[in-house]
Amino acid sequence: MKGENYMQLEFPSRSANESFARSAVSCFAAQLDPTLDELGDIKTAVSEAVTNCIVHAYPDEIGTVIVKAKILPDHVLDIVVKDRGCGIPDIEQARKPMFTTGGEDRSGMGITIMESFMTEFRITSTPGKGTTVHMKRKIICRGGKR
């Protein structure tokens, strides 16, 4: 679906770039005039998706993370976070709360959090080729011009 406005970022999978991606997408989303709660949900979901790329997609190397966002009709923010890393061999297992391949310091709640904060959520992955997280969030129109 064609967007009304869009942006794209590409950056190395360094942990310092997680906050950059979160901030960039939240600034882009601001044009929809989201509530603070909506903005917080968007920031958290982007943070989880990018962190998963950093921790899981490229566990032993620095790779590339791509973040795209666009504004769709009816006040929908469409976000895609993509890597070209190791991929997820079993998506259904990865979606289970508390499952992680990132070690004991990881909660295993990233996918659950992303899914709960978005209106729509989809994850696709091919082992050895990478993972794409596609999220949409409908922003409630609060009466102003849009």
* 43-52 confidence digits (pLDDT tens): 999 999 999 8
pTM: 0.85
Catalytic residue list contains 61 = no
Are the CB atoms for 94 and 65 separated by under 8 Å? Answer: no
17, 18, 52, 137: the catalytic one is 52
Predicted pLDDT of residue 146: 43
11 in any annotated domain: yes
Which pLDDT score, from 0 to 100, does residue 93 have? 64
Residues of the chain with pLDDT under 70: 1-3, 91, 93-110, 143-146
Condensed to tens digits (0 to 9), the pLDDT of residues 65-81 reads 999 999 999 999 999 99
The yes-or-no answer on residue 92 being catalytic is: no
What percent of the chain clears pLDDT 70, i.e. is strictly above it?
81
Residue among 106, 115, 122, 146 flagged as catalytic: 106
Q: Which one from 17, 48, 84, 137 is the annotated catalytic residue?
A: 48
Asked if residue 41 lies in contact with residue 113, where contact means CB atoms within 8 angstroms, the answer is no
In a domain, residue 144? The reply is no
For the chain, the domain total comes to 1
pLDDT at 102: 54
| Residue 145 lies inside a defined structural domain of this protein | no
Q: Is 59 helix (H, G, I), strand (E, B) or coil?
A: coil
122 catalytically annotated:
no
Domain that holds residue 92: 5-138
Position 140 scores a pLDDT of: 87
Q: Which residues pair with 136 in a beta bridge?
A: 78, 120
Within a domain: 143: no
Q: Domain containing 25 — which CATH number?
A: 3.30.565.10
